[in-house]
Structure formats: C-alpha cells, structure tokens
Structure 1
C-alpha cells in the first residue's frame, strides 16, 4: 500500500511539473567499453525505480540493444512513427522488464528535420537513453543532438582512457560541448576508478577547458558475460552481484543530475551568437571602409592643401592586430597534448615532443664580462 501511494504521488508530481523527457546520449571510444550493456542495465535499473524509460538504438547490428536482448518485436517501427501511421507507444517494442526499445537506422535519422525528430523525444517517457552512434568525424546524430547530457562510458586502462579522451575531444569541437559525464565500467576497484577520473578531469580541463562530472563506476563482474549469453540484464538475472548494485546506484542518482538545455538548443544559441558576431564583423568592416574612404579623402584634401601652402594635421592610421601569436600558441598546445595526456592519466612518462619546424628560438643575450682591475 505504501509503495502504491508513493508511486501515485510521484506520478502526480510528474504530471503537474512535467518538462518533457530527459534525454541522455550514451557513447564512448572505440573498442568495447561496454556502452550498449550499460544502456540496457541502466534502462532496467531505472524501470525498477519506477521510471518510464525509452531506449533508442542507433547502433544496429549483432551487438545492438535489440540483438543483445534476444530481439524485441516491433523495435523497428521508427519510419511509421515519423509518417504518423503509428504512435510511439505502439511502435516501440516493450521488454519484459517494462522499458521500451526503438531502433533508428542511420538512413532514417538523416531523412528528417530536427523538429520532426524532436517529436520522438517528447513522448510519455520520463527518461530516454540513446545508444548513440558517432559518425566518421566523431559527431552525434541529429537525433542524439537533442540530448541534455552526454555520458561517456570508459574502462580504466591506458588505451581505453586515451580513446575516451579522444572521443570527448571530437565531440567538444563538433558541438561545443562544455561538460561530459563519465561512467567508469568494468573497474577492479572504486579507488582506481576515482583516481583515473580525477586525472582525466584535470587533463580535459587543462587542454579542452571542458568539465567532467563523475557518473559513478561499475565493478568488473564475472556474471556479466553469462548474462549476455542468456540475453538478460545483469540487474535482472543476477541482482545480488556487485555490477547490478552499481547500476542500480547510478540509476538512483541519474534523475537528480542538474537539468541542462538540450544540445540542439545550445547549438541554435551558438548559431545566433555566430550570426550576431558576423553582423558585428560586417559593421566593423563597414566602419573601416568608411574610415578608409575618409582617410583617402583626407589625403586628397591634404595634397590640395599642400599645393595651396596650407598647414595640415598629420593622418594617423591604425592597423588591426594580427592573430599569428594566438594561432601558434594553440598549435603548440595541441602538439603537446597527446604526449602529456598519457603520462598524466596513466602515470607512464612520455618522451618530450621534438621542436616544431619553423619555430624561432631567440639566441641568449650576450652580456659583457666584468672588467677587473
């Protein structure tokens, strides 16, 4: 009875203060960081906490969400939803645990506008988890651009951490993302996971000016491969294991993450800012052209005045400051990034980077030797 009252009160609060679904894009570096299994188990754990969860599967194939769960009937009706032939509730396949799965292929994602894709994400679900597939340039799909948070799944190993950092770097420069959440997966100890995260956060802040939020860690569990073989979630198949407890803990904290604007909204704001900057640049260019015309007229008047022996005021010209120094500084930071990153995060020293061709080193100033009597 108490649980029914609590669930009813939670549903009433969602009804009165609903702001749409919370969308989280889950991705990671190449290899096998466990991104898809993390999505499946987070969906199961969130459903166990009473949340209505929709999983959008962008990574189709033998390791997709639907394939790992043994195939979910009706998970591929995305085109019918976009054509208005089916509602989202009936189009998405429902898993036995309660969460729903909707498969979205790459060709389907590219056919629709951002406003059309947003209709999929404004349904009844409390939380939408996107198993995000990055393109060749490391950018998110137009559908995943509606996410409020980007969750990076990584393992605590030298190459895996480097791959996760490279993934964040590409996403940062593709979408101007200033904050990522990091989930350490398959960790031997929580202490190692926290140490690796702290080092990674320091490197990301130093080189990318990006802040990282710790989403938690999931222990390496020998029952995970068995759960995959059974096409089950470890949260459901082996609920008493360490990994299942960790997934439930992350799922309990996830709804309390501070809500941020969707990436698409931030991108539109960035576009408006860029348009304003371009307009400002146009005004500056017009002002410079007007000043140049005035200076030219002043020179002509000055020449005429010189022939008439009339004294004239000197003409002062100002040249715009160059940006070569800033470009060289940015290039130097990126050149040293890879070498210092591995040594900083993993503790393995790296060889100093060779001097860049074309850089000029000023010789030391020769000071005269003191004369002694």
Structure 2
C-alpha cells in the first residue's frame, strides 16, 4: 500500500489524539467469529506496544468475547452497578497480555429503564475505563441505534467491513443509522479480509458516499488481509502475531497497533505502509 496522504494522516491523528482513557467501540458488518478474531488480535498487538489494554464484551451474546476467552465467570459491570460484586472482580488478565471484562449478561435495555441503575453503570464504566490506556469495546447498536453507555457514544467508533457487497452495504447502513442517532461525527473504517488495493478502494468509495449523502467524515484505520495463518492461529487459541509472526495478518495487526499507540506526549504514530 502507498503511504497515507497528509490530510488522511492528520485526520487519523485528530481522531486518535483524545485524552486518556481512550474508548474505542468496534461495530462490525461481519459475523461474530470474524469480529472476535479481529478484536482479540488487535488487543494482543496493542499490548505488545506497551499499552495497557482492556477488551470489554458489551454485546451480551451467549458466545461473546468473554466466553471465547475463558473469562465468562468473572463479575459483570452491571453486577458492580447493583453493588452485588466489587470492581476488582470484573477484570481478568489474560496470557495474551491484555485484560477482558463483561458489561452485562442480561437484557440491558430493560435494566437501564431504571435511571439510577443506568447512572451507576455509567459511573462503573468510567472508573474501569480510567484504569487502562485503551479500552476496546465489542459493541453493537441497540434498538434505538445508540449504545448503552454515554461514554461509548462520545468515544471513537470504528466500523469493521470486508470486501463483500453485503458487508459494505451493511457497514454503510450502520454508519447512516449511528450518525442519525448520535449526530454528525467521524467514524473509523477497518477493512478485513481484503487485499491492500481492495481495502483502499472500499474505504474511498464509502468515504465519498458518506461525505456526499450523510455529511459524515470517515477515517481509514487500516486493513488486514485474508490469511490462512490467521484462521489457524484462531483455531489454536493464540494471537496470530505469536503463532505466526511473519504472516501477512501479523504484519497488518502490528501496523494497526502502531497507529493506535501513543508516543511523544500522546500523538498517534502513523507508520508507513510497506
């Protein structure tokens, strides 16, 4: 891939230069398996840069990230909000170098009808986020096209998309619904399962459409190619950067982590594409 143009790099710097804690909610137009693999590998890659990373399962699915990572028995933030468990019981550190936590294991829409419960959950979320450099949230919009925690709506939002037509259509629809609900704001785009050329074309097409029809700015976070080694690493239960460090996906995740990592007083580093 060619280097980012200067305006694209500056846009990414602005997007990623917010104060600690950085809360990055990832919404996907792909299946649960692909999204989970992306989040787990990105978290492991960020941890390798020296960042303190927390991966928060906020989807509430039976086979969510916490379950996949063997951390489903830990307390949830909702239990903390109800004063049933302590905050120190929520986070579980993993051998991959990052921590994992769960927002809730119940219907949040119903639970958050209680204003006090919603406030206490938001407070617990804020305290938890402040304990990490980066909180990566496995997120999904609710029935009202919003997120259960206000801090998630104010933070960075990244939409994952692939090269399939249905995924691109779905990703654009997600951005359209979120922008209608949350107001005009930027979104990041992460393309997975595509070659560098395909990824750039997908991003450019989406960015043009979003700017023209939604008045929304998109920023390219980067891309990860389709890679059999990534699938094999997932089957082994290991990050691809550990199992197959020379794989194309490993190179891509290290580049992604480099874009998220902070250096020199909080300025995001924008490495050149090879």
TM-score (normalizing by structure 2): 0.78
In the other structure, the counterpart of 2:217 is 211
In structure 2, relative to structure 1, the CA distance for the partners of 1:107 and 1:29 (3 Å cut) is same
* CA–CA separation in structure 1 for the residues paired with 2:154 and 2:163: 25
Following TM superposition, by how much is the alpha carbon of 1:147 offset from its aligned partner in structure 2, in angstroms?
4.7
Please give the per-residue CA displacement for 1:25-62, whole angstroms capped at 9, x wherever unaligned.
00122545822221111110011110101111012335
SS at match of 1:23: strand
Following TM superposition, by how much is the alpha carbon of 1:242 offset from its aligned partner in structure 2, in angstroms?
0.7
In the other structure, the counterpart of 1:264 is none
Instruction: Give aligned pairs, total.
Output: 239
Match of 2:152 among 145, 153, 157: 145
Following TM superposition, by how much is the alpha carbon of 1:223 offset from its aligned partner in structure 2, in angstroms?
1.8
Preserved contact between residue 29 and residue 154 of structure 1 (Cα < 8 Å): yes
The 5 Å alignment of 1:1-373 reads: 19-29=19-29, 31=31, 34-61=34-61, 63-69=63-69, 71-72=70-71, 74-82=73-81, 83=83, 85-88=85-88, 90-105=89-104, 106-107=106-107, 110=112, 111-113=117-119, 115-142=122-149, 145-187=152-194, 189-256=195-262
* CA–CA separation in structure 2 for the residues paired with 1:258 and 1:166: 31
Following TM superposition, by how much is the alpha carbon of 1:80 offset from its aligned partner in structure 2, in angstroms?
4.5
Preserved contact between residue 23 and residue 121 of structure 1 (Cα < 8 Å): no
* CA–CA separation in structure 1 for the residues paired with 2:30 and 2:231: 19
Preserved contact between residue 77 and residue 124 of structure 2 (Cα < 8 Å): no
SS at match of 2:174: helix
Higher RCO, Cα 8 Å, sep 6+: 2
Please give the per-residue CA displacement for 1:161-204, whole angstroms capped at 9, x wherever unaligned.
111000100100011142100000011x2011101111110000
* CA–CA separation in structure 1 for the residues paired with 2:178 and 2:267: 21
* CA–CA separation in structure 1 for the residues paired with 2:39 and 2:192: 12
* CA–CA separation in structure 2 for the residues paired with 1:170 and 1:98: 35
Preserved contact between residue 80 and residue 124 of structure 2 (Cα < 8 Å): no
Following TM superposition, by how much is the alpha carbon of 1:211 offset from its aligned partner in structure 2, in angstroms?
0.5
Q: Which 5+ residue runs of structure 1 have no aligned equivalent?
A: 1-17, 260-373
Preserved contact between residue 76 and residue 103 of structure 1 (Cα < 8 Å): yes
Bigger drift between 230-239 and 189-198 goes to 230-239
In structure 2, relative to structure 1, the CA distance for the partners of 1:218 and 1:37 (3 Å cut) is same
Preserved contact between residue 54 and residue 101 of structure 2 (Cα < 8 Å): yes
TM-score (normalizing by structure 1): 0.58
SS at match of 2:101: strand
In structure 2, relative to structure 1, the CA distance for the partners of 1:62 and 1:247 (3 Å cut) is farther
In the other structure, the counterpart of 1:321 is none
* CA–CA separation in structure 2 for the residues paired with 1:170 and 1:30: 17
Q: Which runs of 4+ in 1 moved over 6 A?
A: none
* CA–CA separation in structure 2 for the residues paired with 1:119 and 1:98: 22
Following TM superposition, by how much is the alpha carbon of 1:239 offset from its aligned partner in structure 2, in angstroms?
1.9
Please give the per-residue CA displacement for 1:302-348, whole angstroms capped at 9, x wherever unaligned.
xxxxxxxxxxxxxxxxxxxxxxxxxxxxxxxxxxxxxxxxxxxxxxx
Preserved contact between residue 33 and residue 154 of structure 1 (Cα < 8 Å): no
Bigger drift between 46-55 and 24-33 goes to 24-33
* CA–CA separation in structure 2 for the residues paired with 1:183 and 1:156: 11
Preserved contact between residue 43 and residue 99 of structure 1 (Cα < 8 Å): yes
Preserved contact between residue 153 and residue 182 of structure 2 (Cα < 8 Å): no
